[in-house]
Amino acid sequence: MTPSAPMAALRFQIGARTLLSIPRRLRRVSLSLDAALAGSTPPLPALDAHEHGWLLTSAPAGYRPPPGALALCRQRYTRHHLDLAAGEAAWMAGLSGSARQGLNRKRRKLATRGYRVTRHHDAAGFAAFFPQARAISARTYQERLLGSGLPADPAALARLAATDGLRAWLLHADDAPVAYLCCTAEGATLRYDHVGHDPAWNDWSPGAVLQADALAELFADRFARFDFTEGEGQHKRQFASGGVACADWLLLRPTPANRAALGALATWDRAVERAKGSPTLRRLGERLRR
């Protein structure tokens, strides 16, 4: 587990759009893929006096919150992964015919714009990669709406690149970088950490092509598995060879303020879930996106 305690927010969201947030200092505890597959959760680290609770990600499906904590399950999902040790032939055989045809179609389309992929796996390569990827990241919805773009400070990633702990790629089209993928190593597992593409290229599917080209390269690398990390996604389901049921939990100290905040958030989540698919919510979502 990798704990930290930055100021976070309890977000009242519709899709990726946050309408309201309540600040809380949360210690993030992220389980590794190995821990998720094992189905065990180590004890939570002790909180400092100024911390409000924990954000536990990738907890096993049967996880039970600790007694006394205010608990809310924020999402349930399959944590997808790809068995690189099985080889590229097995991976390709596991893809559906429509997935292979769709990927080939996207590659042919991008080829008309002269697409190529460059690899940036060591310290020198990362130094060239970072400013180009940061420029793309600044324009992505991951950074604008979710706050999960490529970090502005490259120091931690640069240290990993210098010790064979990072793999990074850029996809170029029309002689300009339009998509990036940056992954970090955790033992024999490579993590899907930072990804994005220029929204002006949405119709060209550069992210999907880059993902597939990067995965094809990794079968000859040192890693046994590729970890698609938390959350769902069509490309994760399409490219993965396996998955484990997980959940993300918000766990807070039992104070009156935390109780009120968590109650309001739970009520909001239930209302959004009930309203999914309703014409009113779709219209609201369209207005928010605009």
| Rg value, the chain, Cα | 20
pLDDT band at residue 171 under the 50/70/90 scheme: very high
CB half-sphere exposure, 260, CA atoms < 13 A: 3
**Longest CA–CA separation in the chain, Å:** 60
Q: State the pTM of this model.
A: 0.85
Q: Are 54 and 47 in contact (CB under 8 A)?
A: yes
Banded model confidence at residue 98, pLDDT cuts 50, 70, 90: very high
Q: How far apart are the first and last CA of the chain?
A: 39
158/113 Cα distance (integer angstroms): 31
CA dihedral (16, 18, 19, 24) in degrees, to 10, reads: 150
101 vs 94: CA distance, rounded Å: 13
Are the C-beta atoms of 74 and 217 separated by less than 8 Å? no
Report the pLDDT value the prediction gives residue 280, as an integer from 0 to 100. 64
In angstroms, the CA 118 to CA 132 distance is 12
Domains of the chain (ranges, CATH numbers): 7-79+244-289 (no CATH), 88-218 (3.40.630.30)
State the average pLDDT over residues 154-163.
97
What pLDDT shows up at residue 36? 92
Residue 123, both tokens = 């310290």
Residues 116-148: tens digit of each pLDDT: 999 999 999 999 999 999 999 999 877 776 667
Give the DSSP H or E segment for 279. helix 279-289
Span 246-286, pLDDT tens digits: 999 999 999 999 999 999 989 988 888 787 766 665 666 56
| Per-residue pLDDT tens digits for 187-221 | 999 999 999 999 999 999 999 999 999 999 999 99
**pLDDT confidence of residue 1:** 47
CB-based contacts of 14, cutoff 8 Å, min separation 6: 272, 281, 284, 285, 288
Could you give the CA distance from residue 149 to residue 140 in angstroms, rounded to a whole number? 7
Dist CA 199 CA 176 (whole Å)? 14
> What beta strand segments (E) does 129-271 contain?
166-173, 176-186, 189-197, 225-227, 242-252
In percent, the amount of the chain with pLDDT more than 70 equals 91
Cβ partners under 8 Å of residue 211, min gap 6: 181, 195, 235, 239
Pairing mode, strands 7-14 and 225-227: unpaired
pLDDT given for residue 203 in this prediction: 95
| Contact call for residues 1 and 31 (beta carbons, < 8 A) | yes
Cα–Cα nearest to 227, from 3, 37, 4, 74: 37
The Cβ of residue 234 has, within 10 Å, a number of other Cβ atoms equal to 9
Instruction: Please name which of 205, 195, 241 lies closest in space to residue 89, comparing C-alpha atoms.
Output: 241
Question: What pLDDT does residue 246 have?
Answer: 95
Give me 65's structure tokens: 């919150």
Report CA 244 to chain centroid distance, whole Å: 15
Task: Please give the pLDDT value at position 142.
Answer: 72
Mean pLDDT of the chain: 89
